[in-house]
A and B are shown apart, each in its own frame.
Chain A
């Protein structure tokens, strides 16, 4: 357990240093200063981010969640770069949310979404590593009675060059931990050109246990005396439990208890999860489906369609006079698009384990946001923060489902409260997971544009109609009713900046919020926005009789970073040169989550509907690249997520509920369908962009543009399976 670190003033530090320097000639002295915070094994904490054991092992604290994206390794690289430690001696650990609260959020934000894991913590974790190095060096210098400035650190060894003396981090850690921490303004971080570890494809720290079955995911957790629960929540959002007949299953093998969970759910608690599931399937439950029981996909589509013509809309990006521009063009083009609900479908279904007593509530959960899981634990248990704790367990995929939403934590605690003192693991069946998602929001879009007599884009109105995520999950974040997240990739600037200059421009949103709960789905709104913009750009280029690359370039002269990645993929893919026989190319670019991304897809089409994606060349400029091997994996992996969505994934609504309940009706790409992905990493420095999400959005429009080049057909509603088109 960690404890608080007393504050020591800078003045006290100077006095202490002087005293130490004056009194030491015999080598290392006994530690001085206040008792430091310690790790669970007693090793001293140098800074909140760094614990060093006597054997020189370096334990780096990771506040963000690892869910496969490599953030754990990348964050450790950032700390280790400044710490100057031996990378081979690095291990990691998660501080708990309860400790973070108790220590006034010394580890900052735990939230791991929005591709923020590295870019938003890079500064303070590097400072945490640098501060620890300064303290370790100071401790060694104090011990030797020499100025710290004469000492240097490399690979966990501190050297005093004038005398040739050396010591290791493990030997001075106790003394270093008792020194006051330097303030941020006293810390000078390395110039990026001097980085030795950042930017290198070092191996992930967390691979081995995933190869042997040893890695424990939330679903694998075992606690002494633990029982297991299976749950059914109302299949219709807004519905509730009317009644259930517990007596019908009470005698089934292993069943311990049947409980209602809030107003909306019923759970069976049994010795094993399989017993709980079998009993739950046999349990008669009567639902009150509530006010949305008649809602269907067709009804939702009609509401969104109306929004395309609505006079009222929230504006994100505006220039010139779009009405006049559209009226005065030489050529006018209109296209309407529709993008469906989609489920995250993490490989590991939602789960959480809780143990409740009136004095303490503990939760073990795979979460993208330990602090949000902690908040859900407090709310569901009714206990204060000092009586609750959350332990983060490795995630079997997150993709946004396990970030802002902790409905499964709430359920687990409500179940555990009905079995006080007994740990209960709640695991959703795949079916429960599929019909209780926080779905990628549904939208439609009308693109209206005018070309001038020279074939240049003179006016563009992009009208989005559809669902707001924030209105559902964080209404306090709306800006006078407007949801800024809707406009990802479409803003005048910032980390989701639109890459084109159009003299007469209007991008607006008619908000229409069906009852289906929306959520942040890897890439979020940039997925469909990129399709709307980039497919329409190709349509415009075709109408103008201009090459799609050239057409875009004319609009991108004021957006050099957007253009640079587009040019990079065009060049690598051989745009403008003949493609292999039967192969057609398509382009797309976007800015998202602070990074510039572009793709060129190479596609062939057999029988008019069998699409083979041979190759996708992708470029990204995320400012800095911490681990290129992992960035490449995020790019290739994001394309699997994005192309699965494009070709096969849609959640439809009937009688108020989601219809797709497993992978047979909600398919996901297999290895046979995987294109060759070539990544071009072109960090230009000076800013920190995200990696896990940005590239996902360019795969779909690049493939669609290549499909159109191959067939002449423009598909504008998704997924493609609805048009009989398959990925082969």
Chain B
């Protein structure tokens, strides 16, 4: 049994401590917005925040995040009010299939907290998520729009 704090709520999950956080979120807690893409921290579809920092949850064992604050895509909008990143994503119609976008939005949200006005070079360095639909042009536009607020 591990005790996790997810989107502000304490959750007990009955899993082997080596279970990746991704699968505890998806299968024990029922938060399926965080996606499985590769399982080896390559694609970033599983990105969540642990104590505010972006983490690839597919390789993060549950045992390593006990007692830490975990935020998932479901924890961003409060009472249905989109964050500025989500709003920019909506305005710029970023998603195509959308499968990678939870991770993309989590990675960008963390970037903007760190660098409120990122340059293109900052974006290139921080955002390494794979998107097979190829939404990068809209992702970049939306990041700049979100940064302008």
Give A residues with C-beta under 8 Å from B: 67-70, 203-204, 206-217, 219-220, 222, 228, 253, 272-274, 278, 345-349, 394-399, 427, 429-431, 629, 633, 636-641, 662-664, 668-672, 674, 676-677
Contact = CB atoms under 8 A, between A and B. Distances in A.
A211 B140 contact: no
Contacts of A278: 16
Nearest to A637: B134
B101 interface: yes
Given A663-B42, A663-B43, A220 B97 contact: no
Contacts of B37: 347-349, 430
B96 A637 contact: yes
A273 B23 contact: yes
Nearest to B80: A212
B71 to A, nearest CB: 11
15 contacts: A204-B93, A210-B98, A213-B32, A213-B33, A219-B32, A346-B97, A348-B99, A399-B132, A638-B134, A640-B131, A662-B40, A668-B132, A670-B136, A671-B124, A671-B136
B120 to A, nearest CB: 9
Contact of A668 (B82, B97, B127, B130): B130
Contacts of B76: 212
Contact of B137 (A67, A208, A217, A636): A636
B100 interface: yes
Interface in B1-59: 15-16, 19-20, 23, 26-28, 30-40, 42-43, 45
A349 B39 CA distance: 11
B86 to A, nearest CB: 5
A101 to B, nearest CB: 27
Contacts of B128: 670-672
Contact of A211 (B36, B95, B97, B127): B95
A213 B129 contact: no
Given A68-B98, A633-B93, A674-B140, 12 more contacts: A68-B133, A69-B96, A211-B82, A211-B86, A211-B105, A212-B82, A217-B99, A347-B97, A396-B35, A430-B40, A670-B129, A671-B127
- Nearest 3 CB-CB pairs, A to B? A213-B33, A640-B134, A68-B97
Contact of B136 (A219, A397, A674): A674
Contacts of A638: 134
Nearest to A348: B99
Contacts, number: 173
Interface residues of B, number: 58
Nearest to B103: A347
A641 B124 contact: no
A47 B124 CA distance: 49
Nearest to B58: A430
Given A273-B27, A641-B132, A676 B137 contact: yes
B136 A662 contact: no
Contacts of A633: 93, 96, 135, 137-138
Given A210-B95, A272-B23, A672 B124 contact: yes
Nearest to B20: A274
A636 B93 contact: no
A481 B16 CA distance: 56
Interface in B99-144: 99-102, 105, 123-125, 127-140
A397 B97 contact: yes
A316 B111 CA distance: 53
B66 interface: no
B102 A629 contact: no
Nearest to A201: B93
A700 B16 CA distance: 47
Contacts of A206: 98
B140 to A, nearest CB: 6
Contacts of A253: 16
A662 B42 contact: yes
Nearest to A671: B136
Given A67-B97, A274-B19, A430 B39 contact: yes
A214 B138 CA distance: 21
Contacts of A640: 131-134, 136
Nearest to B121: A672
Nearest to A67: B97
Among B40, B72, B129, which residue has the most Cβ atoms of chain A within 10 A? Answer: B40
A431 B99 CA distance: 18
Among A274, A348, A638, A662, which residue has the most Cβ atoms of chain B within 10 A? Answer: A274
B68 to A, nearest CB: 20
A211 B101 contact: yes
Contacts of A636: 134, 136-138
Nearest to A346: B132
B64 interface: no
A668 B133 CA distance: 11
Contact of B89 (A69, A211, A394): A211
A217 B36 CA distance: 11
Contacts of A429: 39
A340 B105 CA distance: 34
A125 B31 CA distance: 37
A215 B34 CA distance: 11
Contact of A637 (B15, B90, B105, B133): B133
Nearest to B19: A274
B38 A663 contact: yes
A700 B109 CA distance: 33
A347 B100 contact: yes
